[in-house]
Amino acid sequence: MGATDAPDGRGRHRELGLTDHEYDLIVDGLGREPGDVELAMLSLMWSEHCAYKHSKKLLRRLPVEGPNVLVGPGENAGAVDVGDNLAIAFKVESHNHPSAVEPFQGAATGVGGILRDIFAVGARPIAVLDSLRFGEPADSPRSRYLLEHAVAGIGHYGNSIGVPTVGGEIYFEPSYEQNCLINAMAVGMAPHERLTSSAAAGVGNLVLLFGALTGRDGIGGASVLASAELTDADDAKRPTVQIGDPFAEKKLMECSLELLDRNLLASLQDLGAAGLTSSASEMASKGGVGLEIDVTKVPLREADMEPFEIMISESQERMLCVVEPHLVDRVLGVCEKWEVLAAVIGEVTDTGLFRVLRDGELVGELPVGLLVDDCPLYDLDPEPPTAALYVGGEQHVATDADPLTTLKALLASANISSRRPVFEQYDPVVQSRTVRRPEQADAAVLALPVLCARSGALDEPIPAIAVSIDGNGRRVAVDPRAGAAEVVYECAANLACTGAEPLGVTNCLNFGNPEKPHVAWQLSEAIDGLAQACRDLGVPVVGGNVSLYNESPDGPILPTPVIGMVGKLPDARAAGRLGFANPGDRIALVGEFHPARDGSEIAKLHGSAPAGALPVKSVAAIRAAHERVREGVRNRDFTSAHDIAEGGILVAIAECCIAGGVGAIINLPDGLDPFGEDLGTAFIVSGPSESLEGLPIIGVVGSRELVVTGRFNVAVSELSALHGQGLSALLSYAR
C-alpha cells in the first residue's frame, strides 16, 4: 500500500519524512489536521537535520562551559574570548548529501552557508577550513569526479568572496564511495560589542528579509537529502541543489556587518536549511514571541511559487532580521548602498504563533513551540556489532620487511601524500593575516589586530590564533569511544605544534543511520569519547553539527566525527613550523608513544579492514607532552615541531625532512614499530642540544639524505618527489 493509499487518507506526511506517530503528535498538538503549508513546514522542522531528534539527548553530554566562552551552543556559531576585547567565532557544518548529488554547487554552498553563520553572529569571516572524505580515487572515476568538483566549488566560493582557505584534510576510504563528506569550517572575529543574537525581540517590530531573490532552490533538502537514507531508486526524491553566488554573499556580508555596526538591528539570522521556516521560527522560539509573515511580500525569482515553496525554499545568500519600525528606512538605506535587495515581510507578535499569510489571507498557523520545540526526541537502541562492518582497501604491499619500500609506499599513498595540488586551488593569504599556511605547520596561524593602545615598538608581540580540523574514520571504526577522543587529542596536538593553547571546539558528527543498532552504538560511544577528551583537556564545545543517514545500499560510512579547534598564541612571530631547518640541530621525541597498527595507514596499505584495539592513553602524559611542546615553541627553544600521526614515526620524520628540504640521521629506539600509530600523544621536535635537555634524542638534522641507522638511507629529494606526486597523479588538473 503506497503512502497516499493509507486507510485514513493521511499518507502525505510519509512522503515528507514524518512517521505516523509524529503525525499523530502534530494532530494532537494542533487539535486538527495540518494544512499543506503547515505540513510542509512541520516536515522540515521535525526532520533529523533541523530537530536533531536522534542525537540531541546525546549532545547534552558534551561540556559547553569554560572561562573563555562568550557564545555557546544554540546560536549560529560559538565564540570565544581571545583578549583585547576581541572575540573569535567559529563553527563547522556538513553539506554531504547535496555534494554527492552536485559536488561543485554542494560544496560551494556549504562554504557560503557556514560563512553566513559567522557573520550572522556579528563576526567578520577570516578563514575557511575543510574536512573532506571520498572513495578511492585510484579505483573510482566517480570519486575522482566528486573530489575535483567539490574542491573547485570550495575554491570558487572562498576565493571569490575573499576569505582565505587556510587548512583542512582529505582522506579516502571505500565506504565514502557513495556518500562523500564535505565538512566546512569558518572562523571570524568581532569586537565583543558586535556579537549579536538571533532571538526575535520587541512586539510590533518588523521582520525584514534581505539578500537574494527566493526561488525553488533546495526545496525539501533538509527533510529529503539530509534526513533520510537514499537508495539507488530515490533519484526522483532528490531536490534541486542550491546554487551559490559568492559575489552576492560578499555584498550581503558587508551589508550585515554595517547594519550591526550602526546598531540598527534587534536580531539577525541567516537562512539555510528549511529557509524562512527554520530561520523565522527559531528566532521566534528564542525570543519567546510570535511572528506573522506575508509570502506575497517576499521578493521572488519565480512568480508562480506556492506559499509552501516560498516558506521552505533554501535559496542562498539571504538574511532575516528584526528591526524597530522607526529604523526601517535607515536599514533599507544601508541595503541600497550595498545593492542588496530588502523587503519588510512580517511583524513580531505576542501570540506565540507562526502565522503565514498570502496577501493578507491566512494560509498557515502553527504554535511556535509545536514547530520548534515539540518534535519527539528518540532514545537510540545501541548495540555493538558482532562482526566486521567494513572492507579494507586492496592489498598493495604484502609486507613491510623492507622499511624503505614501505615508507615510500606510505608517502605516495592517497591518504598521506602532499595535498598541495588541492591547496593550490585555494587562496590561503587573502586578507593578509595568514602566518602559517597549509603544509608549513600542523595548524594554520592567523595574526590578529591589536585593538588596544600599543607603543608601536617593533618587538611588541603580535597576538594570533591557530586553527585546525581533524577526523579519522578508520580509528573511530576500531574503537568509537577511544578513536573519537583521539581526534580531540590530535587536533590539540596540532595546535601545540604552533605554540597555541586550545580555547574551544566545534564538531561535525558524520555517521550512518542511527536507527540501526550498530550505528547508534558508534554514535553514542563517539560522543562519550569526545566529551571525555574535551574534559581531559579543559576545552569546551561551543557548537557543531550532526550529519546522519550517510549510507548507501553497500552500507554506512566509517563513523567520522570531525573536530575543529581554535587556540591562542601570544606572538605570531614565534609560531611553530613543521620542517627541520638547521643542520646540527638535535631531533627529540616528546611524549609517551605506544604505536599499534589497528586502524592505521600501514594496515590499510596491507589491505586490512579497521579492526582491533587502540593503545590505552595516559591523559596526564598527553597534557604534559602538549604543554612541553607548546612552551618549547613559544620560547623558540624548538626549531620545528610535528605531531606523530598517520603513518607513524618514520612518516612523521620524513615529512619534517621534506618540509624543510634537509636530511637527518635517525636512531630509532629498539623495538619501536616505525609505522604503528598512536595519535595525539607524541611529537618530533628539533632544536639546539641545550633546548632539548631532558628529552630522548633520536637523531640530528643535516645532509641531503634521510638516514635511518642500520636500516636504510634515501635522498630527501626522492621522498619529496614521491610525496608530491601521490595525489596529483590522481587529479586530472594536476597531471
For the annotated catalytic residues, the residue numbers are 49, 95
Integer angstrom CA distances of residue 517 from 375, 408, 430, 521, 523 = 22, 40, 46, 6, 10
DSSP code for 134: E
DSSP code for 557: P
Tell me how far apart the alpha carbons of residues 594 and 591 are, in angstroms, rounded to a whole number: 10
Q: Which of 13, 59, 88 is nearest to 451 (CA)?
A: 88
DSSP code for 221: I
- Residue 15 corresponds to which cell in the numbers above? 512522503
**Range list of β-strands (E), 192-288:** 206-211, 267-270
Q: Which of 277, 280, 315, 293 is nearest to 363 (CA)?
A: 293
- Residue 376 corresponds to which cell in the numbers above? 519527539
Kind and range of the H or E run holding 171: strand 165-172
The answer to whether the CB of 186 falls within 8 A of the CB of 90 is yes
Which neighbouring-strand residues pair with 501? 568
DSSP 627-645: HHHHHHHHTT--SEEEE--
The answer to whether the CB of 526 falls within 8 A of the CB of 654 is no
Burial class (CB in 10 A: 0-12, 13-18, 19+), 489: buried
| CB contact set of 209 (below 8 Å; sequence gap of 6+) | 276, 298, 299, 318, 319, 320, 342, 343, 345
The answer to whether the CB of 67 falls within 8 A of the CB of 166 is no
- Residue 576 corresponds to which cell in the numbers above? 611553530
| CB contact set of 136 (below 8 Å; sequence gap of 6+) | 143, 172, 173, 174, 177, 393, 414
**Range list of β-strands (E), 175-241:** 181-191, 206-211
